[in-house]
Amino acid sequence: MSKYATAAFPAAATKALADPQLRHNLRGATSSIRAKRAEVVADLPEWEQLREQAAAIRDRGIANLDTNLEQLERNVTAAGGHVHWAKDGAEANAIVTDLIKAKGATEAIKMKSMVTEEIGLDKALAEAGISAWETDLAEMIIQLAGDKPSHIVVPAIHIARGQVRDLFAKSFDLPDLSDDPEELTAVARRILRERFMRSSVGITGANFAVAETGTIALIENEGNGRMCTTLPQTLISIVGIDKVVSQLSDLGVLLRMLPRSAVGARISTYMTMFTGVHPGDGPQEFHMVLLDNGRTKVLADPVGRQALRCIRCGACLNICPVYERVGGHAYESTYPGPIGAITAPQLAGLQEHQSLPWASSLCGACAEVCPVKIDIPRLLIHLRSRVVHETDAEPPSERVAMRLLAGILATPRRYELAQHALALGRAPLRSKHLVSALPGPISAWSGARDLPPIPQQSFRTWWTQEHTKEAGR
């Protein structure tokens, strides 16, 4: 468990900011990914047109979600697979647990999957006596450390190479292990190969699920996903219902966008697509678990539903000045960064993540890099409004202040009196031609801001005087 994941975002972010090693790790990793992304995006003069197409593809899949899901179920079943519907994480975990127990297995190998992190699958399986082995190198590191991912694509972005060496040396009793990347990778490969060969159950998520064919599409760079989808006799894929696209041809656009946006690569090392089961080739039993877990609730919001376009590339995290300084754990959500700030409050509920819509400077960089053109700043403002109106997030003092301000602005006369009062009281507040400190309960607001000095004469007063002079001539 992260040492930052115990408070709302402001408190957790404050703790994260005091960790220089964390900031160093994040700055180095995100700047490197940004540079690579910029290079490969520049290869495509049609990039903006592709973004428009990708957004339209995702919107079409979401707009026709009901018929797409029914078609997906029919095609998976026709290909020899089994489809299970889960309304929430608890139901999905129970389905997966029962499927593994029915095979008499006590362990499973897992491909990197944010949706299984979202529902806490590893913990649920452990409580049922089933070991779920993470096979992605970064996820393996996170699992050994008892930590949580802090990035959608690079889960261990907050962990330095030396820390990985110490973790492996302790976990696998290798005191002489160096921090050479090749040596560390060789250790992980040796451990994982043993698990690949003996596990009879594999678990994956999905980058996309194609309604037209019943196909699951998975993208990865290490080969562990290919192992998870070919070696076990039973394969279970947990798929958020928002991952459905209408047609196989839709992948032609999306698969050009995802690797470039995620890690700055022109193409992923492994692109795995499978449909149902094939006798004598690969898993002989396939189960798809379609997970809602709040997604239909998001769909019901005409503005908020735009978040369902997300293809989990992480580009918004890599460009975000807030994420780069505090990391993912401060968000206390499976999905951190800008996309987490608009996804977590909608999936889990505004009451639980009511501080996240404010975890942004609204600079707009996230919207500029999003490959599916999610207008994240607009959604942040929309959710801020919802938090204020639908929860008890607004402090009583702020509510009183806003009502007082509304009363002052209600009539020209009250507004003018307030201006005169401010002019009379400006002297104690003025320091070096700026208002550097406000009194009483609003002093915290001016702790990080300076205001222009309050003028002795307001524009309205000046205008009235000049108008009177003109009329008298």
Identify the weakest region by mean pLDDT among 23-27, 103-107, 291-295, 323-327: 23-27
- Same domain as 247, residue 118: yes
Decide if 9 is inside a domain: yes
Q: What one-letter code names the amino acid at 443?
A: S
- Same domain as 154, residue 86: yes
- Same domain as 358, residue 212: no
Residue 148 has pLDDT above 70, yes or no: yes
Q: Which CATH number is 211's domain given?
A: 3.40.50.10420
- The Cα–Cα gap between 448 and 33 comes to 31
Predicted confidence at residue 4, as pLDDT, reads 42
Mean pLDDT, residues 264-292 taken together? 95
Q: What is the pLDDT of residues 345-393, one digit of tens each?
A: 999 988 889 999 999 999 999 999 999 999 999 999 999 999 988 887 6
Q: What is the pLDDT of residues 2-28, one digit of tens each?
A: 444 445 899 999 999 999 989 998 999
Predicted confidence at residue 432, as pLDDT, reads 54
- Same domain as 60, residue 108: yes
- Same domain as 118, residue 50: yes
Residue 200 φ then ψ, to 5°: -100, -5
Tell me the pLDDT of the chain averaged across its residues.
91
Q: Which CATH number is 22's domain given?
A: 1.10.1060
Decide if 448 is inside a domain: yes
Mean pLDDT, residues 269-286 taken together? 94
- Same domain as 99, residue 64: yes
- Least Cα distance to 240 among 296, 201, 304 occurs for 296
Query: 46: burial class by Cβ within 10 Å (0-12, 13-18, 19+)?
Result: exposed
Q: What is the pLDDT of residues 419-455, one digit of tens each?
A: 777 777 655 555 555 566 666 666 666 666 666 766 7
- Same domain as 215, residue 66: yes
Decide if 192 is inside a domain: no
Q: How many domains is the chain partitioned into structurally?
A: 3
- Same domain as 362, residue 219: no
- Same domain as 413, residue 351: no
> CB atoms < 10 A from the CB of 20, how many?
8
Residues of the domain holding 326: 1-34+313-392
Q: What is the pLDDT of residues 42-94, one digit of tens each?
A: 999 999 999 999 999 999 999 999 999 999 999 999 999 999 999 999 999 99
Decide if 256 is inside a domain: yes
- Same domain as 111, residue 56: yes
CA distances from 380 to 281, 358, 362 (A): 47, 7, 8
Q: Name the domain boundary from 374, 392, 410.
A: 392
Decide if 171 is inside a domain: no
Predicted confidence at residue 1, as pLDDT, reads 39
Paired tokens of 42: 């520049």
Mean pLDDT, residues 146-159 taken together? 92
Q: Name the domain boundary from 392, 425, 451.
A: 392
Structure letter (DSSP) for residue 453? P
Decide if 367 is inside a domain: yes
Mean pLDDT, residues 167-192 taken together? 94
Q: Name the domain boundary from 343, 365, 392.
A: 392
Decide if 416 is inside a domain: yes
State the pLDDT confidence band at 292, using cuts at 50, 70 and 90.
Answer: very high
Identify the weakest region by mean pLDDT among 12-26, 110-124, 333-347, 391-405: 391-405
Decide if 457 is inside a domain: yes
Identify the weakest region by mean pLDDT among 83-97, 268-282, 454-468: 454-468
- Same domain as 378, residue 400: no
Query: 445: burial class by Cβ within 10 Å (0-12, 13-18, 19+)?
Result: exposed
Q: Please report where in the chains the tokens 């402090």 appear, as a residue.
A: 395
- Same domain as 55, residue 30: no
